[in-house]
Structure 1
Amino acid sequence: MKRRNLLRALAIGAPLATAGAVGAGIAAADTANFKVMATEQVANKVMVFDKDKSFSDANRYKSWSPGTGGWSNLSDCRIRDTAQFGAIGLAAASGGKVGIWNITTEKDQELNDVLWSATPGGNPHALERIPNVGAFVSASSDGYLTVYAPTKVSDPSTLAKVQTVSLAGAHGVIWDPNNSLLWAAGNKTVQAYSVTGTYRNTRLKAHSKKVALSGLGHDLQADFSNSSLLQVSDSYGVYSINKTTLAKTTLHTTTRIKAYVKMKSGEHFYIRGDNAGSRDWGSPTVVFSQSADRTRSGAEFYKVRYYTTAYN
């Protein structure tokens, strides 16, 4: 069986979980016709599309273009809800920057919509928000997490670096609201961290929860079909991790999966590095298990997400 067909054949039964969200055009629940957001590194944009339409300029729902320099090679995107701004976008770029932007009614947004940015260094690959304390954590593949904390939760301009935590090969971070833990994927490991303190005293502390991987962890995401699980990809495959028991289940052994999303409906979609072109870690195609694949000519997608503010 071809690797793509193997992925299409996956059908893991699990309890259903509601995915909440806030904002016009942002999913309030998992529906059959959902939107996806992706980092496209050639145009260097975060782009949002209806998954049932071609990924053309004419069909784009929204885009965000931060420019190049420290924003080059966008490596992560996601959206989260805030009391002050509503939905905000989070991004990390291998050029060196991480930051957040205000998602407005504009169809195409730019650098002037940025609310806050920082330069953690070390090839940033992910950024996550810790709710309530309003802190942000970035993952840099050179081997560390960086914690940014505010003096005022509603004002991102007050964010400042308060901690650096070593994690070899750090690539992915995600907040777990059910257990109040931050999970991070690195080289051959997924590590949980507890969060202590508030405001500028916010700190991460390594938790006893830790799961071994076979290779370098690439992506770490919620399982929207089961809030007790995480989805993680590494150099050799995609796995499901039970956040309570730490049991790891191999979903498949397809290599170079850079992003993988599992929906409530059971549909999954992913990006696989195609080993071609100047960005051999990316691909012009987002593959769907129950829908038509979407290819954007000349594009290099690296990360893909479900367009929702829900953590799980």
Structure 2
Amino acid sequence: MQLSRRTLLAGAAAAVATPATMWLAEGTAQAAASYDVAVCEQYRNQIQIYSSAAGWTSPKWVWSPGGGGWSNLSDVKFRNTAKFGEVALVAASGGNVGIIDKNASGTQGTGSLLWHAAPGSNPHAIERIPNIGAIVAASSGGYLHVYAPTAVNDPSTLALVQTISFPGAHGLWYDDVHNRLWAVGQGKATSYAVSGTYRNTRLTGGVNISIGASNLGHSLDASYKNSAILLVSHSTAVISINKTTHAVSTVHANHAVKSFSQHSSGEAFWVQSTGKKYHGDTRNWVNPDVQFFNAAGARSFTRGLSYGAEFYKARLHAVGYH
């Protein structure tokens, strides 16, 4: 997470209060829709799922891997598989990435891992390429790591097959319509074609879209309201990128947003770094609250935890790439 800290601390302190578009004033504290939100909560180092419709007291699901290579959980996505049903994809700044059998009985710790690897260099994102069964991990040390299987339905057969230099690598999202893997890092978002199968899987033909040379990209996410775009948070704004035309538009002109997600209702939510430390630790890239926006784009309500959470990312609990 080192790149995030250096780039965004100053930005967090100077975050603008007024967005560049229609996302404006404070709204009423109501959720028009009900949906589940998954968070990377770094104080207890857990992946947790809560409903948007009520205060966050008891999570619907928790994954708690301990520390070491699993410290500072930094990304989670959910995907469907033919063999295991829903799985969770996780990355941790401690150095590890993995696939969790979300429906496993018993422990919700590392015993539910179907596969894991230790690419190191502060992994910030993970994504699964369907049918091929490949996994891509993004490390802020500056690389994309492609893991591919000998059997699509057997994650234990995944092995490293490709490493691509990608400065500031922080976010990943797969476009299943165009068979493109998107990554975001320092100054750019890049769309790769996916070629080959099994251990011959490769990312090729990268197409770069500028996000501003001084901006470090943080997260990539789908808009579940508008399937034509991807949502990107970077050092100084939240933007949208049209997946076909590559047109870039500003959604929020706010600094230090670590993740931004949008539900099909149009409601959205983000985690914005405060630059403050909590619980006496060193995490100044987190926030104790998730900020929600109504469908018109106004700030609506926040969700937090009684013990003072340290949220790094929040994402819609959905399995679709959209």
TM-score w.r.t. the length of structure 1 is 0.89
For residues 261 and 209 of structure 2, the distance between their equivalents in structure 1, rounded to whole angstroms, comes to 20
- Matched-pair contact (CA < 8 Å) for 1:63–1:108: no
Q: What is the Cα-based RMSD across aligned positions, in Å? A: 1.8
In the other structure, the counterpart of 1:48 is: 49
Moved more, 287-296 or 165-174: 287-296
Q: Does 1:190 align with 2:194?
A: no
Letter of the 1:232 partner, please give it: V
Identity of aligned residues (%): 45
- Matched-pair contact (CA < 8 Å) for 2:150–2:157: yes
- Matched-pair contact (CA < 8 Å) for 1:52–1:292: no
CA shift, 1:280, in A, is 0.8
For residues 133 and 103 of structure 1, the distance between their equivalents in structure 2, rounded to whole angstroms, comes to 20
In the other structure, the counterpart of 1:275 is: 275
CA shift, 1:206, in A, is 3.1
For residues 107 and 40 of structure 1, the distance between their equivalents in structure 2, rounded to whole angstroms, comes to 21
CA shift, 1:210, in A, is 2.0
Letter of the 2:54 partner, please give it: K
Summarize the Cα distance change of 1:267–1:4 in structure 2 as closer, same or farther, 3 Å threshold: farther
For residues 7 and 91 of structure 1, the distance between their equivalents in structure 2, rounded to whole angstroms, comes to 33
SS in 1 for 2:95: coil
In the other structure, the counterpart of 1:259 is: 259
For residues 260 and 50 of structure 1, the distance between their equivalents in structure 2, rounded to whole angstroms, comes to 17
SS in 2 for 1:10: coil
Mark the runs of 5 or more structure 2 residues left unpaired by the alignment. Answer: 1-14, 25-31, 295-299
Q: Does 1:311 align with 2:321?
A: yes
Alignment of 1:148-297 (within 5 A): 148-207=147-206, 209-214=207-212, 215-277=215-277, 278-290=282-294, 291-296=300-305, 297=307
Letter of the 2:285 partner, please give it: W
Aligned residues: 289
In the other structure, the counterpart of 2:33 is: 32
- Matched-pair contact (CA < 8 Å) for 2:223–2:229: yes
Letter of the 1:66 partner, please give it: P
CA shift, 1:6, in A, is 4.3
Letter of the 1:10 partner, please give it: W
For residues 103 and 263 of structure 2, the distance between their equivalents in structure 1, rounded to whole angstroms, comes to 26
SS in 2 for 1:200: helix
SS in 1 for 2:187: strand
- Matched-pair contact (CA < 8 Å) for 1:7–1:289: no
SS in 1 for 2:186: strand
- Matched-pair contact (CA < 8 Å) for 1:128–1:137: yes
In the other structure, the counterpart of 2:28 is: none
CA shift, 1:105, in A, is 6.3
- Matched-pair contact (CA < 8 Å) for 2:19–2:251: no
Letter of the 1:63 partner, please give it: V
CA shift, 1:298, in A, is 2.1
Summarize the Cα distance change of 1:212–1:191 in structure 2 as closer, same or farther, 3 Å threshold: same
Letter of the 1:175 partner, please give it: Y
Alignment of 1:32-111 (within 5 A): 32-56=33-57, 59-104=58-103, 109-111=108-110
Equivalent residue in structure 2 for 1:301, among 285, 288, 311: 311
Mark the runs of 5 or more structure 1 residues left unpaired by the alignment. Answer: 12-30
Q: Higher strand fraction: Structure 1 or Structure 2?
A: 1
SS in 2 for 1:112: helix
